[in-house]
Amino acid sequence: MIVIQRIRMVFPKVKIILFTFLAVVTIVCHTLVDRYKKSGPEMLTDNWNFHAQKIGRAEKKGNELVLFSSDKKTSINIRQDIPFFIQGSILKLSADMKCEDIEPGEKSWNRARLLLVQHDGQKDRWDLAHLVASFTGTRDWRSYGNFFIIVPETQKIRVTAQLSRCTGSFHLKNVHLFPVTQTRIYTWVKKSILTLWGIFGIFLLVFCFFTCHKQILLKVMLVLAFIAIIIGTTMPSGMKTQLSKQISTQIHVADETVDQLLPWDITKTGHFCFFVLFGLVLSLLMSRDPVILIMIHIFLLAGGTEMAQFYIDGRSPLFWDFVIDIGGGLSGILLIELSGINKSEITNSGLKP
């Protein structure tokens, strides 16, 4: 008992130190290690197509592409179809861009934008990553770039500079599109970072097993919640999007009212619920510990899952996802605290082996 109490006192500090170390290493590696290297020739030519209404203009001045619009009811486009590409390849689209007095339109995408759009033979795939950058207001010249995976279903791709139902002027130069491959050092760093975060997550879970009450059912529930959280975190973007659409469609067909009541998209709602379960079960298992210690576990797991997304294909750590995860975990703790459940009775119940 004395040994366990000492572990309970020392381990929170150890876990925070480990988390901080891993977070710093992850950010430094993400910043300094190049993910891709150029593997093929330039794919763009000077054959741009200009689409502008009478109240706007789209033109090429020297080495600049220029778009201007004074009417939010229309869109101005400069685009180029890419005739030759390899399905499954990775392309980098980059450009130097600036904008002046961009007034956004009604929709969130009604801005100045540079896009790479994939078409599956029937429709544009807006569910896939397509945005290099979007702008409002006034921005001076700056370089922007993004990487795009060309999915097997893609039949056509096009590069589009656009004023999407917004007003102002948009300027681009040094627009480049070329294939890339992942560097060996990045592959090694990715495997190492994800392995370390995986070990850290297991370390958190094991700590709960060896220092909490011997509740088989509760521990099984904790493991299931943990596995669900990890799957949701490590799922590649394409698979996540497809799964989200399938579940949303089923919910919409079953009950449209439920679909409208969901506060976020289905994946974020699911993550929130699994963190609620994790926080709830952890609160019961760690009934002898102060609430702050349970909260630390929630923060570390939520932070670790977001940091790991630096190295998950198509994913990136988002502050609001972290907030949603924390909100779910704290909601689980709060449910136990407000329910009036006598945690000591549960820990002494027949759930013991």
**pLDDT tens, the chain, 353 aa long:** 455 555 555 567 888 999 999 999 999 999 999 999 999 999 999 999 998 777 789 999 989 999 999 999 899 999 999 989 999 999 999 999 999 999 999 998 999 999 999 999 999 999 888 999 999 999 999 999 999 999 999 999 999 999 999 999 999 999 999 999 999 999 999 999 999 999 998 888 887 766 565 677 888 888 888 888 888 777 766 665 565 566 555 555 555 554 454 555 667 777 788 899 999 888 888 877 788 888 998 999 999 999 999 988 777 788 888 999 999 999 999 988 887 665 555 555 544 44
How high is the pLDDT of residue 58?
A: 92
* 282-312 residues labelled b (16+ CB within 10 A) or e (exposed): bbbbbbebeeeebbbbbbbbbbbbbbbbbbb
* Contact between residue 180 and residue 91 where contact means Cβ atoms under 8 Å apart: yes
How high is the pLDDT of residue 12?
A: 73
pTM, two decimal places: 0.71
H/E/C letters for each residue in the chain?
CHHHHHHHHHHHHHHHHHHHHHHHHHHHHHHHCCCEEECCCCCCCCCCEEECCCCEEEEEECCEEEEEECCCCCCEEEEEEECCCCCCCEEEEEEEEEEEEEECCCCCCCCEEEEEEEECCCCECCCCCCEEEEECEEEEEEEEEEEEECCCCCCEEEEEEEECCCEEEEEEEEEEEEEEEECHHHHHHHHHHHHHHHHHHHHHHHHHHHHCCCCHHHHHHHHHHHHHHHHHHHCCHHHHHHHHHHHHHHHHHHCHHHHHHCCCCHHHHHHHHHHHHHHHHHHHHCCCCCHHHHHHHHHHHHHHHHHHHHHCCCCCCCHHHHHHHHHHHHHHHHHHHHHCCCHHHHHCCCCCC
How high is the pLDDT of residue 238?
A: 60
How high is the pLDDT of residue 351?
A: 45
How high is the pLDDT of residue 27?
A: 95
